[in-house]
Structure 1
Amino acid sequence: MRVLLTALGVGLLLAGCGQGGSGESDSFPVKIKPEILDDGTGVLRKGNGAEPGTLDPHKAQGVPAANILRDIYEGLISEEPDGTIEPGGAESWEISEDRKTYTFKLREDAVWSNGEPVRAEDYAYGLRRTVDPATGSVYASILAPIENAEAIIAGDKAPDTLGVTAVDEFTLEIRLKAPTPYFLGLLTHSTTYPLYRPAVEEHGDQFTQPGNAVTNGAYLLKEWVVASEIVLEANPDYWDADNVGVGRVEYYPIENTSSELKRYQAGELDWTGSVPIPQLETVRTHVPDQLKTKPSLSNYYYGLNVTREPFRDSPELRQALSMAIDREVIVEKITRGNEIPAYQWVPPVVSDYQGARLAYADMPQEQRNARARELYAEAGYGEDNPLTVEIRYNTLEAHKKIASVIASMWQNVLGVDVELVNEEWKVFLQNVSERRVTEVFRAGWVGDYDDPYTFLELLHSDFGINGAGYSNPEYDALLNKASRMPGGEQRQSVLREAEAMLLADHPVIPVFFGTSKTLIKPYVKGYVGNPMSHYYSKDFRIEPADDSPAQ
């Protein structure tokens, strides 16, 4: 679909997103009736966005897969409902004086779903598997702080040289190349999860399927019907089974947020993955107690494929497109969920960090537009030679709405001819990763831990999901330097310098910093918002009121 919107068209589009626009209604019925199992525990039914591409913890990408993996596996470190770290598979740990060696004492009562003990070697195997080039993990670089990880990922050393050792059956030692202040938080990521090696070797890629999967988390994978549902059941052998509050979890892959909302209203869902923009005001009006919003450790951005034309050798064009986007309009008229216009790369909710900002952050939009037109002309484009470009986005109404508005801004300010390309999640991820056909793509990043590095690393030339293809040796050197520094202002200064360099090069266009928006039924207890939106189903419980009529 090629987008050629006039200024009037933009106005109509924005009007359709405001209060009283499409989707508004005087009534908003919501069925309040939980599903209770025979043993008295409840069922948690969750909308989960796109269909996961895989449930291999070392290969999976995206939030939908991460939500499920968090339930069926357990890493060394887990998280409390507010996002602070707590013991997981490791009941305790010690850190050496030089902060380069971590020694974890595992729980001796933790078992795999087949009854076998979870041993230190299972964690070591998982970590080695992630960095092994044969695995093809796009997140392998997240383990770069571990001794020899980078050399293994590059193919220069064998996986068994990774700085991890099973000291004994229940003691794991991890050696780092340098002090890493965020390391414990990193260990909540699925790339660090253990695996039961015999299951992987017996079933190959099918070890993730029901009946084959041997897991160590609070839930067991019981059913996976593609494009329909993924069903988990509480693991009776989980070491903390007595405190698991939900007996069954049902994940539904629903990419259409309006359809998800209707299923929530009909009583088929207890938890939505998001809230459709056109109905946000209706939700706020009718069920404000069910709407949960929280500033999130995330950014929403547009990536520019700098490995091919038209962006490869044109920083002027990249900056022109960034300056022509009116971020205030997008957050005030489109998303309308307390998002923050983004003029830096690292979200402001990251602790103890004051980031760099785009040079034109404080410039009025009129002046930005004028400068954007000058840069556009310097790049060789104009009325007689307009830029023609594609914006790719994965299926979601909000992404389409934002892409349409940005396309119209680019056309009205610069005269750009934009085609919108909507792709299913797996196809979208593959195209962004391969960078063969992408020009502009929408993206978002939720931090894996509370540190600027989790955002800045995304654009490191060696990072597996650097969709923009950005490669700047000076930027990489700054990140490599910061990765070897202890916490403190000196490290923050190096990271800030890297962020300023990234913003000046414009391989990505920050649009806004996000807020999580979800609907949760009142009988779902235990919700505490956290900025990373990391939720473990075991922390919730279903407590219906004695009288729970539909609203």
Structure 2
Amino acid sequence: MTQKTIRLATAILAGSLLLGASSALAETVLRRGNGAEPKSLDPAHISIDIEGHIMQDLFEGLVVFDNAGKIQPGVAETWKISTDGTVYTFNLRKDAKWSDGSPLTAGDFVFSLQREENPKTAGEYANILYPIKNAQKVNKGELPIEQLGVKAVDDHTLEITLEQPTPFFLQLMTHYTSLPISKANYEKFGEQFVKPGNMVSNGAFKLQAHVPNDSLTVVKNENYWDAKNVKLDKVIFYPIDDQAAAQRRYEAGELDVSYGMPLDQLKRLKASFGAQVHATPALSTEYYAFDTREAPYSDVRVRQALSMAVDRDFVANDIRSGAVTPAYSFVPPGMEGYGTGPQPEFAKLSQIDREDKAVELMKEAGYGKGGKPLNIEIRYNTNTDHERLATAIADMWKTTFGATVKLTNLDVASHYSYLQEGGKFNVARAAWAADYADPENFLALQIGDNKTFNYPHWKNAEFDALMAESYKETDPAKRMEIMKKAEAIQVKDQPIMPLYFRSNLWMVSTKVQGWGDNGVDWHLSKYLSLSK
């Protein structure tokens, strides 16, 4: 072999080694379009799905939903339930750790649950944990936090005692409010524990960087108990609230997964992208809330009339391109044992007859044509589809009642913060997706003392009494019937105006492996991988 040939062979070999090393070192990065900027990364202060998508990667609760929507062990490897259904004993994984390598213990769960119910925390979602013994009294400041029904039997055994048997309790333990945070890390950083560099988490990923309104990056947590089965090195969440912009980025190949899509583009997208378009029935309802604290929305006749005048078939088929189903009740179909929710009387009428009845009711209340002027402000979170919906409904109310309608919008975090903090309004857009597949999760929103999610500030003693009764009923069929009676009151009184049952809408690249459509809309990145 000549000297020249040897040099050439050496160069080729070196190049091959470098190429191989480069391929081996290349990161596997999933790019997720996530709808909007999260308001918080603190489990005690989040309340909407775009925050949940991130939290599900950063933190892991006692149990989780897999990508088929089935309950699976999380930090709890096993558990047992007492014969009376009121005591749950969770056996925690001995190899469960925080991302800084420190052990995760039952004491961290006790600390986190007590913090959630501590009135000083002002957790927006604290009421969801009221099935835990003394949770409501602790949250209202009537008992010390130490009397919350949670106990660390030892470092790897957590005992939770309930007020009464709660059929959906395991599902409840998947919720954000049930996520653990490191007691030691919180004591070190306080409320600043959520910042990059400070945050310690226990999920499959840990927080690397967060540039507000630009991106949020999480990287594989090498201390996660199942790290060997996590295929992704990094996930970047992009808070793109303009769905058209998100769609353009997806079509340009800049996103592997995109949450939501412009519904007026749905048919085109299905034709162009086929199976990459995921539109599946969701346990989720879109609705408008009426502020019942002030006239005219304190008058049930006005609320009923406004609801009757909305052509839900037009909304579903034309405004939402057939991707949703018209709704006349709040609880979506698909809840085991519940069936179809109660329907208002006007649901049986044609749209023309509904509008005639609506005019009569509005006139009887003294508003509309020939009565007091009807000035309505519709509030919604900034989004092209929400704007189209609000514009269409405004036109229906103008045509039917001669109403003057103004549209106001805020970014998603500000919109929901305004509602949850009790800001006054006329009519406001909202949506609810199931935290767990039980009607209670929807109906509890309008219980009179639900300060966070009872946006209409509606109070009905009979409704509240029936919901209280449902919590004590242990017979599953009877419990469902009690909740149906409660929903019938809500449907008649119309503090909220259900519009349609939503679909889970995603664009998912063919490169993404492991994706599963499911009613609870959980899509943990730990289950995903990317093909080459």
Out of 319, 323, 332, the residue aligned to residue 338 of structure 1 is: 323
The answer for unaligned runs of 5 or more in structure 1 is: 1-35, 545-551
Give the structure with the higher percent helix. Answer: 2
Counterpart for residue 525 of structure 1: 513
Partner residue of 1:319 out of 299, 304, 307: 304
Q: Which residue of 1 aligns with 2:71?
A: 85
Alignment match, 1:232 = 218
Matched, 1:496 2:491: no
Partner of 2:439: 452
Aligned-pair CA distance for 1:484 = 2.1
Q: Name the CA distance, whole Å, in 2 between partners of 1:403 and 1:148.
A: 42
Structure 1 letter corresponding to 2:145: P
Task: Tell me which residue corresponds to 1:4.
Answer: none
What is the aligned-residue identity percentage?
A: 38
- State how 1:206-285 maps to structure 2 within 5 Å: 206-285=192-271
Distance across 2 between alignment mates of 1:138 and 1:359: 35
- Aligned equivalents of 1:503 and 1:402: distance in 2? 21
Q: Supply the distance in 2 between the matched residues of 1:87 and 1:49 (Cα, whole angstroms).
A: 29
Query: Contact conserved, 2:66 with 2:522, CA < 8 A, in 1?
Result: no
CA distance in 2: counterparts of 1:487 and 1:233, whole angstroms: 46
1:280 CA displacement: 1.4
Deviation at 1:181, TM superposition (A): 0.3
Q: How does 1:87-126 map to 2 (within 5 A)?
A: 87-126=73-112
**1:188 paired residue number:** 174
Question: Aligned letter for 1:471?
Answer: K
Q: CA deviation at 1:201?
A: 2.1
Match of 2:134 among 148, 169, 182: 148
Query: Structure 2: 5+ residue runs without aligned partners?
Result: 1-21
Following superposition, the deviation at residue 40 of structure 1 comes to 5.5
Matched, 1:470 2:463: no
- Deviation, structure 1 residue 351: 1.9
* Alignment pair present for 1:409 and 2:396: yes
Is the Cα contact below 8 Å between 2:209 and 2:217 reproduced in 1?
Answer: yes
Distance 1:207 1:434 in 2: 24
1:228-251 deviations in Å (ceiling 9; x for gaps): 000000111100011112211000
Q: Deviations over 1:312-344 (max 9, x none)?
A: 2x0000000000000000011011243110011
TM-superposed deviation, 1:143: 0.4
Cα distance in 2 for partners of 1:224, 1:309 equals: 44
What do residues 202-236 of structure 1 show as CA deviations (whole Å, max 9, x unaligned)? 22221101110011000000000001000000111
Deviation at 1:426, TM superposition (A): 2.4
Contact kept, 8 Å, 1:222 with 1:231, in 2: the verdict is yes
- The count of residues paired between Structure 1 and Structure 2 equals 508
Task: Please say if 1:541 is aligned against 2:524.
Answer: no
Residue number among 65, 69, 77 corresponding to 2:51 in the alignment = 65
* 2:127 alignment partner, SS class: helix
Return the offset for 1:451: 0.5
1:201 equivalenced with 2:187 (yes/no): yes
* C-alpha displacement of 1:39: 4.1
Contact 2:463–2:489 (CA under 8 A) maintained in structure 1: yes
Contact 1:181 1:487 (C-alpha < 8 Å) held by counterparts? no
Q: Which has the higher contact order (CA 8 A, sep 6+)?
A: 1
Q: Pick from 439, 453, 468: which aligns with 1:480?
A: 468
Name the residue aligned to 2:500.
512
**2:381 aligned with 1:394:** yes
Alpha-carbon distance in 1 for matches of 2:26, 2:473: 51
Tell me how far apart the structure 1 counterparts of residues 484 and 402 of structure 2 sit (CA, whole Å).
34
Structure 2 counterpart of 1:5: none
Partner of residue 418 from structure 1, selected from 401, 405, 413: 405
User: 1:41 offset after TM fit, Å?
Assistant: 5.4
| TM-score using structure 2 length | 0.94
Distance 1:457 1:219 in 2: 33
Distance 1:423 1:62 in 2: 15
What TM-score results when the alignment is normalised by the length of structure 1? Answer: 0.90
Give per-residue Cα distances to partners, 1:86-117, cap 9 Å, x unaligned: 10000000000000000000000010011111
User: Shift of residue 183 of structure 1?
Assistant: 0.3
- What CA distance in whole angstroms lies between the structure 2 residues aligned with 1:150 and 1:527? 38
RMSD, aligned α-carbons? 1.3
Check the 8 A contact 2:264/2:321 in 1, yes or no: no
SS in structure 2 opposite 1:475?
helix
Determine helix, strand or coil for the equivalent of 2:131.
coil
**1:434 correspondence with 2:421:** yes
Structure 1, residues 26-56: CA drift from partner, whole Å, max 9, x if none? xxxxxxxxxx985455211111111101100
- Residue 292 of structure 1: aligned partner: 278
